[in-house]
Amino acid sequence: MVKDGRPTLGVGLVGYAFMGAVHSQAWRCVGRMFDLPVSPAMTALCGRDPDGVQNAVARFGWASVETDWRRLLERDDVHLVDICTPGDDHAELAIAALAAGMQVLCEKPLVNTVEEAVAMTAVAEPAAERGVRSTVGFNYRRVPARTVARRLVKAGRPGTIRHVRAQYLQDWIREGADPTPSFADGLQVQRVLAAEERSADNGSCRQQVEGAYTVGKAR
């Protein structure tokens, strides 16, 4: 299908909780922020609870409902699978989607084990050679400071790296700034509230600097 002279990219989103809600808003608004070569269509939302996913479809504006992610892979109108489930589902979903010829956007953490990462790589690399793209939804990959750091490391400027210590400050989960205080609970930051600090696990940033995060050739 072509819309406004651009091919339609049918998106199937798996998961509709916190991150699924974020991605739903992103798909709704991305065309307003960027000039895209395709026209994203919020084709299908998938979740295991029929009532929950139906409510989410009505709230977020998806066109249809699925309760089994395997059905997404059988649909001609879904071209990209967006994975926003808990991490223990990521490998199975991503591998199956890539094997079916679907583009894949997978939320962090990419996988839970090295073995799962190896299995995903074994599918993602040949898929990339066929033009089937995959990447991880980790927005800190595009932080300018990290990009510069990776460029320097790749060029060999620091020499042999034996230890990295970095700090990235942000206020998006500070009290009063985040409308969902329970989110801070989930990141285990309550123990530092009295000191007006917020911390989260930024270990993935180190992996990004080393270039070891994204599976396959979609970097």
List the chain domain ranges. Answer: 2-138, 141-210
Asked whether the beta carbons of 123 and 95 are under 8 A apart, the reply is yes
Asked whether the beta carbons of 139 and 170 are under 8 A apart, the reply is no
pLDDT at 212: 43
Other beta carbons within 10 angstroms of residue 52's beta carbon come to 13
Condensed to tens digits (0 to 9), the pLDDT of residues 184-202 reads: 554 444 554 444 444 444 4
Q: In whole angstroms, what is the distance from residue 96 CA to residue 166 CA?
A: 36
The architecture (CATH level 2) of 2-138 comes to: 3-Layer(aba) Sandwich (3.40)
- Average pLDDT rounded to a whole number, residues 8-33: 95
Given a cut of 70, whether residue 152 has pLDDT beyond it is: yes
DSSP classification of residue 178: B
